[in-house]
Amino acid sequence: MIRDPEILDALLDNISRFVRERLVPNENRLAETDAVPPDIVAEMKSLGLFGLCIPEEYGGLGLTMEEEVRVAFVLGQTSPAFRSMFGTNNGIGSQGIIMDGTPAQKAHYLPKLASGEMVASFALTEPGAGSDAASLATSARRDGDCYVLNGTKRYITNAPEAGIFTVMARTDPAAKGSAAISALIVERGTPGLSLGRIDRKMGQHGAHTCDVIFEDCRVPAENLIGGVEGVGFKTAMKVLDKGRLHIAAVCVGAAERMLRDALRYAMDRKQFGQPIAEFQLVQAMLADSKTELYAARCMVLDAAQRRDAGENMNTEASCAKLFASEMCGRVADRCVQIHGGAGYVSDYAIERFYRDVRLFRIYEGTSQIQQLVIARNMIRDAANS
């Protein structure tokens, strides 16, 4: 749903210009320094990028899902680590509070997240619990007016920058499965909370992940999201449904950028006396990429419109994430191939994108988890019909 086409177009124009004029020229600086330059972070704040998906009453832009994916198509056109800087504030770091938080939790945290004054992280994954998220072992034992947290979270995006963490932990340590999992807001600086060393990743340099370790970390009971125990897993799954669709949209943007660069290269690069774009084998790679990209874009928009219409789009979000992230990987591979030897050296952006986009098939649920979600829903729906 687009609330006001003129306002959205103005926003898209602004973000597009920012991507083209400020982010793309700083991609090498981002990768080389492994940090988003402070001047760029300041500009992101003033453009409102930290609050894109936070409701207007808390200082954000309150984008609908369709508006959000259209923005993500644009943001995807540069190094994904730039988007990651404010991605958790709009997505997995804040949405648990937005969807299930108490009025007091929303009023306290959301304005700071919307302005970018504070960064939020989402802490679900653990050393022993990745795809099998419901097996997580971090415990939150109630003790008076506090919960006492113990456990380790792994690969937590923006943890080094985060001011708050949405932590999924087991409030009934004796119980197995998802029903004993609760979500808590834990503030940076709480005694007993420490961070591991920053992970050395294959790509997306400038976006940081690390372990978050809890050792007898006392968190006020009022930080239990929604004030209800045992619903944290469902909160996490709802957050991921939305996050997966957002990532699918970013994949579309990244594929568009890679394909645009590859097309330009193919039109300039001459072999056998003519631009390689004239060769049908190169044209096949261009055409297959364009076709898959178009399909992914349509899927993302359809799923977003369904969500805005109030439909359950759990299956469609997983379909979109699965197809768009796999498509993005295939496009990256073909674009390296079109560049030939030039695609294997870091003078061209495609070498970096090839590594950066590999993560899309892994985080916020691997391709195999998306397949599992889709097939399970198909079987459940058929059994109930």
Residues that bind ligand COS (CB under 6 A): 92, 124-125, 131, 133-134, 178-179, 233-234, 237-238, 240-241, 314, 363-365, 369, 372-373
Rounded to 5 degrees, φ, ψ at 186 are -120, 130
> Does residue 349 sit in helix, strand or coil?
helix
Q: Which residues are registered as beta bridge partners of 193?
A: 214
Contact 368, 131 (CB under 8 A): yes
What is the closest distance, in whole angstroms, from the C-beta atom of residue 369 to ligand COS in the complex?
Answer: 5
* Pairwise CA distance, residues 187 & 118, whole Å: 10
Q: Quick one: 74 or 136, whose CB is closer to ligand COS?
A: 136
Q: Quick one: 61 or 81, whose CB is closer to ligand COS?
A: 81
Active site residue 161: no
Q: At what angle do helices 232-268 and 314-339 cross, to 10 degrees?
A: 30
What is the closest distance, in whole angstroms, from the C-beta atom of residue 243 to ligand COS in the complex?
Answer: 7
Q: Quick one: 16 or 377, whose CB is closer to ligand COS?
A: 377
The residues, ordered by sequence, that sit 6+ positions from 83 with a Cβ below 8 Å of its Cβ are: 72, 75, 76, 250
Q: Taking Cα atoms as reference points, which of 30, 1, 18, 26 lies closest to residue 207?
A: 30
Q: What percent of the residues of the chain are helix, what percent strand, and what percent coil, each to the nearest 5? A: 60, 15, 25
Catalytic: which of 68, 126, 229, 364? 364
The residues, ordered by sequence, that sit 6+ positions from 187 with a Cβ below 8 Å of its Cβ are: 163, 164, 223
The dihedral through the CA atoms of 20, 365, 59, 220 has a sign that is negative
What is the closest distance, in whole angstroms, from the C-beta atom of residue 366 to ligand COS in the complex?
Answer: 7
Q: Quick one: 233 or 323, whose CB is closer to ligand COS?
A: 233
What is the closest distance, in whole angstroms, from the C-beta atom of residue 234 to ligand COS in the complex?
Answer: 4
Q: Quick one: 94 or 314, whose CB is closer to ligand COS?
A: 314
What is the closest distance, in whole angstroms, from the C-beta atom of residue 37 to ligand COS in the complex?
Answer: 25
Q: Quick one: 281 or 383, whose CB is closer to ligand COS?
A: 383
What is the closest distance, in whole angstroms, from the C-beta atom of residue 377 to ligand COS in the complex?
Answer: 9
**CA distances (Å), 237 to each of 96, 279, 333, in order?**
10, 46, 31
**CA distances (Å), 382 to each of 319, 320, 375, in order?**
18, 21, 11
Q: Quick one: 208 or 339, whose CB is closer to ligand COS?
A: 208
Cβ-based neighbour number of residue 218 at 10 Å: 18
Rounded to 5 degrees, φ, ψ at 211 are -70, 150
Catalytic residues: 364
